[in-house]
């Protein structure tokens, strides 16, 4: 299904782009294993139980992710369209993540690109990893930031973003008390990885 999706994007790009730009459409894979989220806004969220005591999220999370998409050449740079998935790992919260982004890569010097990107994220049914039973609703979020790519077919990729997301608490279990009806996991996301162009 994903293969058909990207083939469809490639076909559409070739239809709408002028003849001189069609040869610059490439398939791309972004691998971001080093991804750290500073979610300090979660500090004021506590879960309390008469049996298990008190628990809270940690102030830092990791968010390794993998994306793929198209690079569409538009001199003096290119537009990058990505779709991908990752996993949010916090001391007490865990969730899968799916995302889609669009960005501009401006060539500031040979083989060095810089630019902004924006996108949407989706976190399906985040889970509380503590001892206290607690459930969250699925949620949409957003990402906006800047990136630098250095290299040709294989590039180093650095990204600094603001990731906005809030997890709404489902009705707490009996005997469980929360300080807020949602936990704000928004924060600054710093990522480092590689970009492979085919």
Per-residue pLDDT tens over the stretch 86-97: 999 999 999 999
Q: What is the pLDDT of residue 2?
A: 43
Rounded to the nearest integer, the mean pLDDT of the chain is 90
Distances, alpha carbon 135 to alpha carbons 37, 94, 167, in Å:
22, 11, 9
What is the C-alpha to C-alpha distance for residues 63 and 141, in angstroms, rounded to an integer? 14
What is the C-alpha to C-alpha distance for residues 46 and 146, in angstroms, rounded to an integer? 32
What is the C-alpha to C-alpha distance for residues 174 and 61, in angstroms, rounded to an integer? 28
Task: Please give the average per-residue pLDDT across 32-39, as a whole number.
Answer: 98
Task: Please name the residue ranges forming H helices in the chain.
Answer: 2-16
pLDDT tens sequence across 84-132: 999 999 999 999 999 999 999 999 999 999 999 999 999 999 999 989 9
SS (H, E, C) 126-177: CEECCCCCCEECCEEEEEEEEEEEEECCEEEEEEEEEEECEEEECCCCCCEE
pTM: 0.84
**Residue 142 exposed, middle or buried by CB count within 10 Å (0-12, 13-18, 19+):** middle
- Answer CATH for 2-197 from 3.30.750.24, 2.40.160.20, 3.40.50.720, 3.30.70.1380: 2.40.160.20
Task: Please give the average per-residue pLDDT across 167-185, as a whole number.
Answer: 93
Model confidence at 133: pLDDT above 50: yes
Model confidence at 10: pLDDT above 80: no
* End-to-end CA, the chain: 20
Q: What is the pLDDT of residue 172?
A: 86
pLDDT tens sequence across 46-85: 999 988 899 999 999 999 999 999 999 988 999 999 999 9
Q: What is the pLDDT of residue 50?
A: 86
């Amino acid at each position: 299904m994903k293969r058909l999706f990207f083939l469809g994007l490639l076909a559409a790009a070739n239809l709408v782009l002028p003849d001189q730009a069609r040869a610059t459409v490439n398939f791309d894979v972004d691998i971001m294993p080093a991804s750290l989220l500073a979610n300090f806004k979660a500090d004021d969220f506590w879960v309390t139980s008469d049996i298990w005591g008190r628990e809270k999220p940690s102030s830092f999370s990791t968010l390794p992710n993998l994306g793929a998409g198209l690079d569409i050449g538009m001199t003096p740079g290119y537009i990058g369209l990505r779709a991908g998935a990752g996993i949010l790992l916090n001391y007490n919260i865990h969730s899968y993540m799916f995302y889609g982004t669009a960005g501009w890569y401006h060539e500031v010097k040979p083989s060095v690109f810089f630019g902004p990107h924006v996108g949407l994220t989706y976190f399906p049914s985040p889970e509380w990893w503590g001892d206290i039973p607690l459930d969250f609703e699925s949620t949409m979020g957003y990402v906006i930031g800047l990136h630098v790519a250095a290299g040709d077919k294989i590039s180093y990729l650095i990204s600094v973003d603001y990731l906005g997301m809030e997890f709404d608490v489902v009705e707490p279990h009996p005997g469980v008390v929360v300080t807020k009806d949602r936990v704000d996991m928004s924060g600054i996301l710093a990522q480092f990885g590689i970009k492979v162009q085919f």
